[in-house]
């Protein structure tokens, strides 16, 4: 991967803004879905689809493509929005989210949409799937890399740690886990529901190379992906500290927006019928500061 320039970072940040707008539009249209996590991961998905991943929107089944496994399938609006803006399908199709017959279901379904590698829903399964994929790639002599996106809440699932042990045992240097460390889950803050810290030390003890980053800093994320390529004999965890609801200050860090869409969320700050418009306004205001 070539070093990223300031101009490229600026362009990716612009893509992230467009992705966030699309997320709000599609969730409001669906009247269903998750808001906080997708908004929080927009910078990382923009960087993945517009700089990091080796992929071809015109040929989604390209054998040499990098594989992106989305374990925390509930944040799939950010993946759909990023894919649409990258050219996999028309952006307008995002407005079909969660409708009957749509290719864009509430959790990604592999056979419905070209460009999806797995069907996800049950939390905690993705890392094991990605580790198996990475080992198979090595056995077949394939040079592609496997990126697995996970949530912090699903670190409470035992299967996640089975996958972590497996990846370390087989020294899967072609596997990169990107964890959305936003500190919330549907029932509250992670450290109240089931304390997870110290996550970095736990993964190091399991045999992983760990890179903590600011998940909204595109340069840091790209540098971490570059560093992961240089690591030998270990899988890499990019521990991305993010703000749930990023870009919409009125809902940032509010766990109540984990699983609520604009128009259906808490109305203590904005009436339900004003939430979509106000969220888009906050996004634009933040971008113009």
Instruction: Please name the residues in contact with 18: beta carbons below 8 A apart, sequence gap of 6 or more.
Output: 85
User: What is the reported pTM?
Assistant: 0.96
The average pLDDT across 51-77 equals 97
Q: What is the CA radius of gyration of the chain?
A: 18
Burial class of residue 172 (count of CB atoms within 10 Å of its CB; 0-12, 13-18, 19+): buried
Instruction: Please name the residues in contact with 260: beta carbons below 8 A apart, sequence gap of 6 or more.
Output: 34, 35, 266
pLDDT at residue 122, rounded to an integer? 84
The average pLDDT across 152-169 equals 96
Q: Which domains does the chain have, with CATH numbers?
A: 6-288 (3.40.50.970)
8-state DSSP, 123: T
CB 149 within 8 A of CB 180: yes
Closest CA to 39 of 263, 260, 219: 260
Q: How far apart are the first and last CA of the chain?
A: 32
Confidence of residue 220 (pLDDT cuts 50, 70, 90): very high
Confidence of residue 288 (pLDDT cuts 50, 70, 90): low
pLDDT at residue 2, rounded to an integer? 63
Confidence of residue 3 (pLDDT cuts 50, 70, 90): confident
Per-residue pLDDT of 81-111, as tens digits, reads 999 999 999 999 999 999 999 999 999 999 9
Mean per-residue pLDDT of the chain: 95
Instruction: Please name the residues in contact with 205: beta carbons below 8 A apart, sequence gap of 6 or more.
Output: none
């Amino acid at each position: 991967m070539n070093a990223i320039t300031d101009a490229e970072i600026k362009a990716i940040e612009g893509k992230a803004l467009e992705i966030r707008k699309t997320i709000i539009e599609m969730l409001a249209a669906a009247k269903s879905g998750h808001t906080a996590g997708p908004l929080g991961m927009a910078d990382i998905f923009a960087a993945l689809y517009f700089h990091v991943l080796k992929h071809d929107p015109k040929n989604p089944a390209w054998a040499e493509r990098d594989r992106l496994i989305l374990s925390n399938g509930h944040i799939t609006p950010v993946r759909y929005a990023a894919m649409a803006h990258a050219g996999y399908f028309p952006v307008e199709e995002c407005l079909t989210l969660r409708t009957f017959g749509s290719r864009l279901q509430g959790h990604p379904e592999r056979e419905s949409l070209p460009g999806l590698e797995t069907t996800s829903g049950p939390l905690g399964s993705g890392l094991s799937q990605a580790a198996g994929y990475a080992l198979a790639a090595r056995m077949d002599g394939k040079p592609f890399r496997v990126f697995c996106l996970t949530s912090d809440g699903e670190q409470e699932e035992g299967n996640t740690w089975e996958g972590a042990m497996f990846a370390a045992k087989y020294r899967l240097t072609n596997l990169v886990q990107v964890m959305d460390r936003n500190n919330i889950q549907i029932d509250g803050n992670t450290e109240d529901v089931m304390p997870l810290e110290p996550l970095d030390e736990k993964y190091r003890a399991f045999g992983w190379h760990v890179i903590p980053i600011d998940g909204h800093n595109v340069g840091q994320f790209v540098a971490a992906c570059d560093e992961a390529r240089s690591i030998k004999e270990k899988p890499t965890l990019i521990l991305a500290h993010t703000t749930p609801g990023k870009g919409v200050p009125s809902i940032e860090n509010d766990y109540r927006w984990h699983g609520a869409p604009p128009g259906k969320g808490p109305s203590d700050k904005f009436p339900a019928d004003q939430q979509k418009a106000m969220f888009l306004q906050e996004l634009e205001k933040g971008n113009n500061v």
